[in-house]
Chain A
């Protein structure tokens, strides 16, 4: 069953950070949600983590300012529906449907803000972002790379280096060098990149 836009929209408030419902997630509702995801609780937990991660990505892709908050709001709404007895046959599709409703609310809120501050567009605000000093992060990255194997270091530094044509050529060579198909290599590089980003984030907290 797909989520109803009207039913869910009326639960939100006009919070500028995220459309929030007054309803609060309870342990019982969360357990019901997990039961909808899988009969096995461990597998259900893994699916929950994966769905939440995908929701955050979805809100990022759509250019939302607080992807994690929007993802949690979406999950709360789904959990509420589940606890109220709604049958959820396709959890991933259902969650994404609810997420789109939350997204609409985010867009509406943003429109209101823009109208209120008509002279300051969102684009301008985004462009005004000042990048952080790159050195500490680069040092942390070097530190994190030291914890990787030589092959992984070579992979990450070569895979993401170069201009378009050179990058393609680099990746072909890496594919031959590691005797790995391009698609597999791409997934390996991506996972490594994500791990390194987490490692760098942790490292920056210690500085």
Chain B
């Protein structure tokens, strides 16, 4: 296989700068060796680009114009090269703006930009410079504006989060107050119920006053319903109030206690919040007063729950008892 021609040699051929015999040599090879043909075409494309970008020396430019602008077919190639150069320039400028550290090395980019300026007319250069200035000013303004808007947006979001947090706190506080109010109302209703129960004996006949209106009853923890050992409470007819002394463990330190008294079928008979623990002879206990008339004969479950400082509710114990009526 013959050696490929040097690119400079092919360039001289294309510019008509070679003796006839060397021209024939290149043409013969190009017609019989596709690789040589491709080499000549590749050099031709580069030469056209060089001309379009104004990089040919005067003599070369004149030779080029004599040879390359002679036929319509070749002029089309030159026209195409002009369009390609323009689109490539725009592409590089776009890439420069979009990706300052693009794949092209900075030096290459710089030389490319310089070449772009060199290959254009004064009017275009002036327009390009003006456009660049407008672009730089615009980008600067856009960057500053974007940063300011982002900062304001972040501040607004922060304020919004702050407000939402405060609103949530206020809602929680309001709910807590409403719960407390409801609890206190319920407590007051129960107190009034208890007071009414306590006041009723005064209206009873004198012969019934001998019997106590209040019946105290101790409930111990751990007494299960299934164990069959549920405490039986016998409530006389004259009893108005049953006071439960609910025993708890010494470690059951809660802010307050809540009690639910349920019948054997699960119906709530009595419920009370905000009960406090106090010391008794057998240990700490919680006192609960229930109107006797609510406790008909049957089996009951008393659920005692402790309320922690942070408002959570924990099971303390379940107590079971039977009621008999005399």
Interface residues of A (CB under 8 A from B): 54, 56-68, 92-93, 95-96, 100, 122-123, 126-127, 129, 131-132, 134, 137-138, 140-142, 145, 156-158, 160-167, 169-170, 173, 177, 186-187, 189-190, 193, 196-197, 200-201
Contact = CB atoms under 8 A, between A and B. Distances in A.
A63 B16 CA distance: 8
A169 B281 CA distance: 99
A129 B83 CA distance: 17
B41 A127 contact: no
B49 A160 contact: yes
Given A61-B13, A127-B65, A137-B79, A162 B112 contact: yes
Nearest to B119: A163
Given A58-B30, A61-B44, A132-B79, 5 more contacts: A100-B24, A145-B87, A161-B88, A166-B107, A196-B84
Given A126-B70, A137-B79, A170 B87 contact: no
Given A93-B28, A129-B69, A54 B103 contact: no
Given A163-B115, A165-B111, A186-B42, A157 B88 contact: yes
Contacts of B65: 123, 126-127, 129
A161 B66 contact: no
Interface stretch (B31-39, B222-230, B231-239, B242-250): B31-39
Given A93-B32, A131-B82, A193-B45, A60 B74 contact: yes
Interface in B60-89: 62, 65-71, 73-80, 82-89
A187 B73 CA distance: 21
Query: Which of A66, A138, A165, A170 lies at the interface centre, i.e. has the most chain B CB atoms within 10 A of its CB?
Result: A138
B14 interface: yes
Nearest to B73: A67
Q: Chain B: interface residue count, which band?
A: 35 or more
Nearest to B34: A50
B192 interface: no
B115 A138 contact: no
A161 B112 contact: yes
Nearest to A123: B66
Contacts, number: 150
B66 A126 contact: yes
Interface of B: 13-14, 16, 23-24, 27-28, 30-32, 37-38, 40-42, 44-46, 49, 53, 55, 62, 65-71, 73-80, 82-89, 91-92, 103-105, 107-108, 111-112, 115
A163 B55 contact: yes
Contacts of B79: 131-132, 134, 137
Contacts of A126: 65-66, 69-70
Contacts of B88: 157-158, 160-161
Interface centre among B13, B24, B67, B78 (most CB of A within 10 A): B67
A23 B38 CA distance: 34
Contacts of B30: 54, 57-58
Nearest to A90: B32
For the complex of A and B, the 7 pairs showing the least CB-CB separation, nearest first, are A63-B67, A137-B83, A161-B88, A138-B83, A126-B69, A166-B111, A166-B108
B55 A156 contact: no
Nearest to B104: A170
Nearest to A96: B31
B66 A63 contact: yes
8 contacts: A63-B67, A67-B74, A127-B62, A134-B82, A142-B87, A161-B89, A190-B42, A200-B83
A66 B75 contact: no
Contact of A54 (B37, B45, B70, B73): B37
A190 B40 CA distance: 11
Given A157-B88, A166-B111, A186-B42, A137 B71 contact: no
Contacts of A163: 53, 55, 111-112, 115
Contact of B71 (A67, A132, A140, A177): A67
A176 to B, nearest CB: 10
B83 A141 contact: yes
A123 B82 contact: no
Contacts of B23: 62
B111 A141 contact: no
B103 A173 contact: yes
Contacts of A61: 13-14, 27, 40, 44, 67
Contacts of A60: 71, 73-74
A129 B70 CA distance: 9
Contacts of A186: 38, 42
